[in-house]
Structure 1
Amino acid sequence: MRISWLMAGLAAAASCVAVAQDVLPITRSLFLERAEADGVSLEPADVLRRGDRVVLVMDWDGRTGQPFMLTSRVPNTLAYQRSGDRAVEVSVDGGRNWGRIGSLRRGERLAAPEEVTNLRWRIAAADGATMRSYSAIVR
C-alpha cells in the first residue's frame, strides 16, 4: 500500500510556532525504522506500507530564548506508539483534553497509545535541544 499522500502532507505541514513576536520555523521529517542484526536503522521514508514502523522528527534552528509550546497532530494513517521525550503531553480527543498516556480515559477505560490524536511539548527557554520525535505504526 503506497501512502505517498501521508508523506506529502507531512512535508507540506512544515509548521511554525509563534514565539512572542517572532515565528519559529519547524521542519518535519519522516523516517522508516528497519530492524537489522546489529540494532535498528532509520532511513528516509519514500514508500510506506501497513505495519511499517516510522519515526517523525520535528526540529528547529537553535534556541529561542523564550519558552514555547510545540504541538503536532498525529495523522489518522498512523498509530502513535511513544515519544522520544517523556515529558510529552497527549490528547485522545483532538486536542480538547491533555495529559500523560496512562492517565487519560476513553469512557470507563484508560486510553491506549494508538488512540492518541495530538501531542505537545513544553519547550523551556533554557532547553538546549532543537528537536522532538515520536514513533508510530502505519495503519
Structure 2
Amino acid sequence: MAKRRRPGPDRSSYLNHRSRVEPIRAPDGSSVRELLHPSRHAIERLSVAEASIDPGESTRLHRHPVAEEVYQILDGAGLMELGDERLAVVPGDIIRIAPGQPHRIEARSEVPLRLLCICQPAYRDEDTEFLDTPDPSDTGTTWSSSAAHSNS
C-alpha cells in the first residue's frame, strides 16, 4: 500500500536557495528572506533568515523574551546595539543575542548591511517586543511569518 502524503510543508526538504525566497519587509525595518523555518522546511528547533538593511537605516529597537538569536554579518558594516553596548560590526562577525536582550543594528557603509539571523526556538511574531515607536512616515509592507511562508 502506498504511503499517503500529508498536506502541509514538505518536511523532507533540506536544501533551499535564497533566490527562491522573496524578500519581505519586516516590522523591525529590515528586508527579510526566511530561508528555513519549521512551518515550511525539514527543521524543528530553529529558523534561519537573511536580513538586509539599507545604508543609513536601522532596525527598530526590540527584544525576544524567549528566543536566543545569532547574527552573522555577511556584507556591509554596521553598528550593533546590545543593551547598553555599541559594537562596530563587519563581515565575518558573529553576535549572540540573549533572550530578552534589547537590540538593533544600523547599516553604516555604502552598501546594504546583510546578515544571517538564526533564532532558537524558531522565530515567531509573538516573541518580538518593540521598545520604540515606529516611524509614522514608513508605509512599507510589514512582515509576518505567515506571509513569508506563502512564498516558495
TM-score by length of 1: 0.34
Instruction: Please state which structure has a larger fraction of its residues in strand.
Output: 1
TM-score by length of 2: 0.33
